Amino acid sequence: MVNADNTQRAQLLLITAILIAAFILGAVVLLNLLHESPQVATERDAQSTQHADSVTTQMQEELYRSFLKHTDGTDAEDMERLPVIVDDDSFDDMVADGTGLANDRAIRSHSSSVSVTFMEESSVDGEIIWQNGSGHAFEYEEKPIFNETDSVPHFYLSGDDNSETVEFEFTESDQWDEADISIDEDEITIGEETFDDFESFEIELKNGVGTVILDGEVNEVELNLPDDEFNVLVDGTIDERQFILSALDPADALTQEEIDDDEDIDGQIGDASGIVDPQFRLSYHDPSLSFETTFHLYGGES
């Protein structure tokens, strides 16, 4: 006959073993959670940061495209892509309307929001000249386009292997020395880089940094501009091709009126004054990340 004390002792041992096993299992689960939570949080933060970077880049690209399309107040055709703001209020309204759409897309796709504000007061004024490829070539002989500027936010030139030779120099001197950008019918030189064997080309630089596209192939280039105020000199002919050059608040800028009055310069250009490097404030928010930043569209100092 089984002893009652032994039976109770066995039941207590069984219950104790079950409790110990449950405790050990709970501890293991808890330890796993403690180890897993930072990893999950880190992955979530990384995804949020990656999305924020993507949205920020997208917004800057949209602003850049909007800026190039905004030509209100100039004499340009509606389809001109000019990097200048003449009508500040109109551009401010366009930024507000355009970024609202992007903001809605961001909210729907990632429970996030992004807003952009055009900061007119801290944006940079300047001058631009352009040639729209309409057949009105203009010719220089080591002449200045801009005098005493701190930067050239936008340089754009396109053409082909039939284009006439033209050279640009960015120099603190008022005398021609050596070209920084040179284009002739079979060779392009930008700073230390030289390219040849092409049928068509497209050069676009933002404060000296950008790309040369040769027959559709993209090449990155960088031009070392002077640290102090400098002049922009041109030697050669800009024929039937598109050309745009903007300068930060130069002491003097070439105008069509000056061309008409100067017997040594021939041709027709467009010229305008306005904001050539706009500044924006961007705010981003999602459940895991919030930040605010300001930036100039062409990389100028904030």
**Burial class (CB within 10 angstroms; exposed 0-12, middle 13-18, buried 19+) of 287:** exposed
Q: Which residue has the tokens 């057949």?
A: 135
CA-CA-CA-CA torsion for 40, 45, 48, 54, nearest 10 degrees? -120
When pLDDT is cut at 50, 70 and 90, the band that residue 203 belongs to is very high
> Is the Cα torsion angle 237, 239, 241, 246 positive or negative in sign?
positive
Model pLDDT for residues 255-283, shown as the tens digit of each residue:
888 878 877 677 778 788 888 998 888 88
Question: Domains in the chain, ordered, with CATH?
Answer: 125-276 (2.60.120)
**What does the alpha-carbon distance between residue 220 and residue 120 come to, in Å, rounded to a whole number?**
31
When pLDDT is cut at 50, 70 and 90, the band that residue 142 belongs to is confident
Model pLDDT for residues 151-174, shown as the tens digit of each residue:
999 999 988 877 788 899 999 988
Residue 45, sorted as left (phi over 0), alpha (psi -120 to 50) or beta, turns out to be alpha
Q: Please provide residue 106's backbone torsions phi and psi, each rounded to the nearest 5 degrees.
A: -65, -40
Rg (CA), the chain: 31
pTM: 0.74
**What does the alpha-carbon distance between residue 68 and residue 241 come to, in Å, rounded to a whole number?**
18
Which residues are CB-contacts of 175 (< 8 A; sequence separation ≥ 6)? none
Q: Provide the pLDDT for residue 6.
A: 64
CB 277 within 8 A of CB 133: no
Q: Which of 66-80, 247-261, 280-294 has the lowest mean pLDDT?
A: 66-80
Q: Which residue has the tokens 């551009």?
A: 91
Q: Which amino acid is at 99?
A: T
Whether the predicted pLDDT of 109 surpasses 80: no
Helices 4-69, 88-110: axis angle to 10 degrees equals 160
When pLDDT is cut at 50, 70 and 90, the band that residue 210 belongs to is very high
